[in-house]
Structure 1
Amino acid sequence: MRFLRGKFGIECFFVLCIIGVCIYLLPRIAINAFYYPDNKVYGPEPYSVEPVVFTAKDGTTLHGWFIPSAKGPSEYAIATVIHAHGNAGNMSAHWPLVNWLPDRNLNVFMFDYRGFGESKGTPSQAGLQDDTLSAIDYVRHRPDIDPQRLVLLGQSLGGNNIVSAITHGDRSGIRAVILDSTFSSYSAIANHMIPGSGLLLDDSYSADRNIADISPIPLLILHGTGDHVIPSEHSQTLYALAKEPKTLELIPDGQHIDAFSTRHGNRYRDETERFILEALKKGK
């Protein structure tokens, strides 16, 4: 009997250890399903790009591109747009979505999160918030731009990073925020993919927890009603939670992050430019 009790005790201890390891590892495995980085080159670098190496607050080395306005010196641009891309590839894959901005007299700063492209490190929720905050801070301290005319543009996962960063960091000079095809929370989109899996995820960095704090900075939310990756209901949720001033543009039959693609011509490009100009006027 002693042997059986001893064996039972060891088995119970072994099972508890397995459960403990699962509790520790499963959330980390689940969040890694959000990141699909690579260092493949998807196309030529933008014309007149300045490659940039900067450092996150925790010391991670990151890579970015500064693309000045095509209309004149960067210090005289309408504003500088800081772009946070989605969860796959690297910024060379996302450049075609924002390549129209310099022709509208806007500077653009793109960057790769840790683990993406040439950036070092491993992706994590806290790490990507650090990367986004550090990108904003880097741009803010460039001598060739106006630090009081910053616009944040986050697409898909980048929208959550932008909202989290602006809520927890320095807001000075940020005059407008644009979210394109953003999910409302990590748990909500995980549950959409696999019911119940959202229980494994930390929502501290989710947009729905933080979006109300963006106000009084003007907010534009774009989302296609035909998005099969992130349903447009996520943006409707965010719009309901956000405070004024806010605008929601649902794109009929629009797909995931295709608002600025050639498929829609200049319609949403023009609308976004108008939004930026109006936001800059309100901030005077």
Structure 2
Amino acid sequence: MAHRTPRLLLKLRTARPAGLALTLLLLSGCSSMFFYPDRVTYITPDRLNLAYEDAYIDTADGETLHGWWLPAVAPESAIKGTVYFLHGNAQNVSSHILNVAWLPERGYNVFTIDYRGYGKSTGDPDIEGALHDVETGLRWLVAKPEVADKPVYIFGQSLGGGLAIPLASEWIQREEPPGLNGLILDGTFSGFREIAREKLGAFWLTWPFQIPLSWTIPEDYEGLDRIAGISPVPVMVIHSVWDGIIPFHHGEALYEAAEEPKEFLHQRKGGFLSGPKAIRQRNRSAGRLP
């Protein structure tokens, strides 16, 4: 991937008028739908009373990624492991850091990066580039002495989960050291093509193009096709029935496609259901079970 050709990208939220947005989308393909980066620093870990280090990592294709290393607030003997956090598609890591800011006090190191084009990372984002970035970040992480002989978990939020599934699957299938100890998916879509078709189909101007445009997305990275390959590493799927961005059925589909060991946390009024019980309760509410 050292000589990747940059793609023409489109930020659909800001393109005007609608006809121009459609023209650019047709030229760039669906890859651009997934990325809404900015370079604003919203908060830094020290504002949350967290120790941290900036990391700058060079990729094989000439970009530089920025990340944060947050050490666990615990003696070495009490550190439980390291969480590699992959954030969602909007803004940058500084707006997502609150999702993992509680982990250092619970005894976990945290490492998180911005994909190319986000925050202080160079370049422009696309799917293949982001997949390249998350693997580059994981390789940097597992080379740290602080990570040796401790469990390593990948935590992907929304888009980050979509990137985490093929990353974890390939890492496990290639038997890369060290072995992963768990994958957590929070509000993740079941596949890049599937969610692209849904989003394009919801807008009258792009509805006729939902199938041909989705074909511009590489088919090699669909979560439903990859998640079974993560076993025997445990998978936890977290999803809310009120998720207005990634519909709940994506979480259901990922859980059902995963092999054991797996867990499903389903947010509902009054708390969470877990495991197959969550699926049964959802189906019963929809009239699919007695």
- Deviations along 1:152-191, one digit per CA (max 9) or x if unpaired, are 0000000011111122233633101000000001222122
Question: Residues 171 and 132 of structure 1: is their aligned pair in 2 closer, same or farther, counting only changes over 3 Å?
Answer: farther
Amino acid across the alignment from 2:248: S
- Deviations along 1:45-88, one digit per CA (max 9) or x if unpaired, are 34211111112233321000000011234x75100000000001
What is the rounded CA distance, in whole Å, between the counterparts of 1:119 and 1:27 in structure 2? 25
What is the rounded CA distance, in whole Å, between the counterparts of 2:56 and 2:28 in structure 1? 28
1:157-176 equivalent positions in 2, closer than 5 A: 157-169=159-171, 170=176, 172-176=178-182
What is the rounded CA distance, in whole Å, between the counterparts of 1:204 and 1:253 in structure 2? 37
Match of 1:53 among 48, 52, 56: 56
Matching of residue 200 in structure 1 with residue 218 in structure 2: no
What is the RMSD of the two structures over their aligned residues, measured on CA atoms? Answer: 2.5
Identity fraction in percent: 33
Q: Is the 8 A contact 2:72 2:106 kept in 1?
A: yes
Amino acid across the alignment from 1:184: S
- Deviations along 1:199-219, one digit per CA (max 9) or x if unpaired, are 323232221121111101000
What is the rounded CA distance, in whole Å, between the counterparts of 1:172 and 1:144 in structure 2? 13
Matching of residue 183 in structure 1 with residue 189 in structure 2: yes
Amino acid across the alignment from 2:34: F
Match of 2:151 among 149, 152, 157: 149
Most deviating of 140-149 and 242-251: 140-149
Superposed displacement of residue 27, structure 1: 6.6
Amino acid across the alignment from 1:172: P
What is the rounded CA distance, in whole Å, between the counterparts of 1:143 and 1:221 in structure 2? 30
Matching of residue 248 in structure 1 with residue 264 in structure 2: yes
Question: Residues 187 and 253 of structure 1: is their aligned pair in 2 closer, same or farther, counting only changes over 3 Å?
Answer: farther
Question: Residues 228 and 253 of structure 1: is their aligned pair in 2 closer, same or farther, counting only changes over 3 Å?
Answer: farther
- Deviations along 1:114-135, one digit per CA (max 9) or x if unpaired, are 0000001111111111111111
Matching of residue 237 in structure 1 with residue 237 in structure 2: no
Superposed displacement of residue 144, structure 1: 2.0
**TM-score with structure 2 length normalisation?**
0.75
Amino acid across the alignment from 1:71: A
Q: Where does structure 2 lack aligned partners over 5 or more consecutive residues? A: 1-21, 202-208, 275-290
Give SS of 1:95's match: helix
Q: Match of 1:18?
A: none
What is the rounded CA distance, in whole Å, between the counterparts of 1:252 and 1:185 in structure 2? 24
Q: Where does structure 1 lack aligned partners over 5 or more consecutive residues? A: 1-21, 255-263, 272-284
1:204-283 equivalent positions in 2, closer than 5 A: 204-252=220-268
Q: Is the 8 A contact 2:29 2:213 kept in 1?
A: no
Most deviating of 198-207 and 97-106: 198-207
**TM-score with structure 1 length normalisation?**
0.77
